[in-house]
A = this chain, B = another copy of it.
């Protein structure tokens, strides 16, 4: 069984072999194959978006995806929610001595397939190896570059009282999948991670309405944390309606048993949007025509309250105030 050794991180013969046999083979494109210390992009226009993320998820393979697919989709999503067209990604691998090369190749193939689907090129990379017990199989950094085709301001400055909050589908699937895998919880459920790239869904949305004022993918910290972030420093608040928030029954049941709140659980293929009241229905219809948005729903609205709060109206008409996540109940979900 071939495994990663410290020599694969030496920058010498074994590093080159690995790069040739695994990385160049699967990521092959003309920019990467320049093989320079930097990769040169000949012509990129004016305004660009740049984002970086490291992925340390455990386990590295899970129902619905793996660390490779996650690393590409996550970075593509971060670019796309800014309104950018994702184009280029760099990858940095930190591998633990002993990682099986067949696992590495499976991850790399998964990255190559995700990149192909997203229309992005992997243009530069780096390989480091740490001793056994100084890592956990593999960590991946992806940095993405995208370009803008329109001038729509999605930073949230256009948000107004009355605007609707939309989520693209069921919440908590990713986090609960990872938890069940890791703790070997056998709930006999069919839950799998929603890990996916949302750039085409976002493209559809932006084509439908110019009154989309904010888009973000709901990842670490769940919907509550994401909305609370948006509201920071804002002179208005959000009211969410629990009954309207799409959550799978099995996810809801597992959360109940374990004492988790699905509004704090991570997703890797879900969006939250803030859209004018007028355009909300139109946007929902567009989203439901895309498989990744088929459970899209209006879940709340912007209200006058000046505190920058996020309120949750419960089914029995109570009101809770939601804050950012405090403790990390399910660490390393991305």
Binding site for B on A (CB under 8 A): 6-7, 9-16, 34, 36-44, 46-56, 58, 77-79, 81-82, 84, 88, 90-94, 123-126, 128-131, 133-136, 139, 141, 143-146, 148, 155, 216-217, 219-221, 225, 229, 266, 323-328, 331-332, 334
* B328 x A82 contact (CB < 8 A): no
When A141-B92, A332-B130 are in contact, do A38 and B12 touch as well, CB less than 8 Å? no
* A48 x B40 contact (CB < 8 A): yes
Number of copies of this kind of chain in the complex: 2
When A48-B41, A52-B124, A133-B133 are in contact, do A155 and B36 touch as well, CB less than 8 Å? yes
Residue of B79, B124, B131, B221 near A51 (CB, 8 A) is B124
* B37 x A126 contact (CB < 8 A): no
* A220 x B38 contact (CB < 8 A): no
* A39 x B50 contact (CB < 8 A): yes
Q: Provide the residues of chain B in CB contact with A128, threshold 8 Å.
A: 54-56, 139, 332, 334
Q: Provide the residues of chain B in CB contact with A325, threshold 8 Å.
A: 10-13
* B91 x A52 contact (CB < 8 A): yes
- A217, B324: Cα distance in complex, Å: 44
* B82 x A323 contact (CB < 8 A): no
- A13, B327: Cα distance in complex, Å: 8
Q: Provide the residues of chain B in CB contact with A38, threshold 8 Å.
A: 49-51, 78-79, 81-82, 84, 144, 146
Most buried by B among A47, A136, A324: A324
- A37, B266: Cα distance in complex, Å: 16
* A52 x B126 contact (CB < 8 A): yes
* A141 x B54 contact (CB < 8 A): yes
* A46 x B48 contact (CB < 8 A): no
* B331 x A217 contact (CB < 8 A): no
Q: Provide the residues of chain B in CB contact with A9, threshold 8 Å.
A: 220, 328, 331-332
Other A-B pairs beyond A37-B78, A50-B88, 17, CB < 8 Å = A6-B328, A7-B327, A11-B325, A13-B323, A13-B324, A13-B325, A36-B82, A37-B216, A40-B148, A42-B46, A44-B46, A52-B125, A56-B128, A56-B130, A94-B94, A133-B133, A141-B141
